[in-house]
Amino acid sequence: MSKIELKNVTKVYDKTNRAIDDLNLIINDGEFFILLGPTGAGKTTILRSIAGLEKINSGKILFDDKDYTSVQPAFRDTAFVFQQFSLYPHYKVFDNLAFPLKSRLRNLSKDAIKEKVEKIAEMLKITSKLNNKATELSGGEMQRVAIGRALVRDPNIYLMDEPLSSLDAKLRETLRVELKNIQRNLGATILYVTHDQAEATTMADRIGVLEEGKLVQVGTPEEIYNNPKSTYVAHRLGSPRINIINEDILSLDNKPNNTKQLGIRPENIKINTGTYKGKIRTTEALGAETVIAIEYKQIELLALFQGSFKGIKGDNINFDIDTKNILYFNDRNENISWAQNS
């Protein structure tokens, strides 16, 4: 496997559209790294640049400290898994998996190909489908085969472009767990891009948050969730969403002088206790938890209650706020603890 390093990488379209803006990033050997951001943030362009499918305007792309900026895609030893299933529809699953191994450059025997295909099929739990045509598979099975086509090549680097986004929620959850387990077992270097925070928090060793081609924060899921660099980053992780409110909504002691906004995670609002008084706007039962929207001083606060909740719309409700975990943001939407240390 390989370390990936991007040094001052910039990619510009139409002379003014900076899809990647002076990006610096190191992805460690054997790391599951996820780039998180909305559509248009530059995620796919970064993947395609690393694979050699896009020519960057400036900067360097290094694998294991060797400059691959100008190396042709065929010689970069990367495997790309796309959002849409890239399978040969009339081939059997076995032949779809075997196809990347039949290159003359690999010079593998039929027995060696068979052994590799069967090993990957077992890993992805599709052994029983090896004689099926791709057109006979479910969406989840097709994406397993697409992932298998990358795994069977045993490349130094795996590049994955939202490979689970077209699957239903239950399948996504299953494949997230399986993909992370496979990565750990192989010790693979994976760069995975998504807009889905659940994928980022459950699979990533580290996350890089992108905003309009710029890398705005890198850290573990826990670091980014607990100490986001800005309101933009704070909104990227957390469900229900974080409450971002004007600082004068709450009377708090010892606020930093330049505080303009407060960030309060829903789990830090405690229900049926405390001196704050509001009204229930809505409740949403999530099984073991309930999301409660509270009207307070003409704004809405989301609270996360553990267990079932009996209140209904219009009921009065008392609540308290865990002030130790409040985030403070300045007039540039920066987390003040970050701004003071920068």
Q: What is the pLDDT of residues 219-250, one digit of tens each?
A: 999 999 999 999 999 999 999 999 999 999 99
Distance CA 3, CA 193 (A): 17
Identify which of 219, 250, 244, 247 has the alpha carbon closest to the alpha carbon of residue 232: 244
Q: Answer whether residue 342 shows pLDDT above 60.
A: no
pLDDT score for 48: 95
In this prediction, residue 339 has a pLDDT band, given cuts at 50, 70 and 90, of low
Q: Please enumerate in sequence order all residues whose Cβ is within 8 A of that of 74, keeping only pairs 6 or more positions apart, or say none.
A: none
What pLDDT, on a 0 to 100 scale, did the predictor assign at position 118? 93
Q: Count the residues in the chain.
A: 342
**Cα separation values, 136 from 92, 93, 164, 184, 324, Å:** 9, 10, 19, 30, 55
What's the pLDDT score for residue 173? Answer: 87
Instruction: Quote the tokens at residue 92.
Output: 């059997």
Are 4-235 and 241-341 the same fold in CATH?
no
Mean local confidence (pLDDT), 36-63: 95
Give the pLDDT confidence score for residue 20 in this predicted structure: 96
**191: nearest Cα among 223, 218, 225:** 218
**Band (57; pLDDT cuts 50, 70, 90):** very high
Residue 307 in this model has a pLDDT that exceeds 70 = yes
- For residue 211, give every residue at least 6 positions away whose Cβ sits within 8 Å of its Cβ, in sequence order, or none: 37, 41, 232
**Percentage of the chain exceeding pLDDT 90:** 69
Q: Which pLDDT value is given to residue 113?
A: 92
Residue among 292, 75, 34 at smallest CA distance from 162: 34
pLDDT band at 147 (very low <50, low <70, confident <90, very high): confident
Homologous superfamily (CATH) for 4-235: P-loop containing nucleotide triphosphate hydrolases (3.40.50.300)
The CA-to-CA distance between both ends of the chain, in Å, stands at 34
pLDDT of res. 86? 76
Supply 192's token pair. 């995975």
Pick from 80, 88, 85, 218: nearest CA to 161 = 80
Distance separating alpha carbons of residues 329 and 234, to the nearest angstrom: 11
Is the pLDDT at 171 greater than 90? The verdict is no
| Whole-number pLDDT of residue 31 | 97
- What is the pLDDT, as a whole number, of residue 164? 85
Residues 40 and 85: their CA atoms lie apart, in Å, by 22
Query: Is residue 274 over pLDDT 60?
Result: yes
Question: Who has greater pLDDT, 48 or 340?
Answer: 48
Higher pLDDT, 80 or 171: 80
In the structure encoding, which two tokens stand for residue 96, read together? 């779809």
* Cβ pair 217, 58 in contact under 8 A: no
Place of tokens 């951001």: 37
Which tens digits make up the pLDDT trace of 178-218?
A: 889 889 988 899 999 999 999 999 999 999 999 999 999 99
Pick from 54-68, 102-116, 252-266, 302-316: least confident? 102-116
Q: Is the pTM of this model over 0.75?
A: yes
Q: Judge contact between 314 and 282, C-beta under 8 A.
A: no
- Is residue 270 within 8 A of residue 341, CB to CB? The reply is no
The stretch 285-291 carries a mean pLDDT of 92
- Mean pLDDT, rounded, of the chain: 92
Architecture of domain 241-341: Beta Barrel (2.40)
Domain limits, the chain: 4-235, 241-341
pLDDT of 132 above 60: yes
pLDDT computed for residue 341 by the predictor: 62
Q: Would you say residue 104 has pLDDT above 90? A: no
Q: Are strands 189-194 and 32-36 parallel, antiparallel or unpaired?
A: parallel
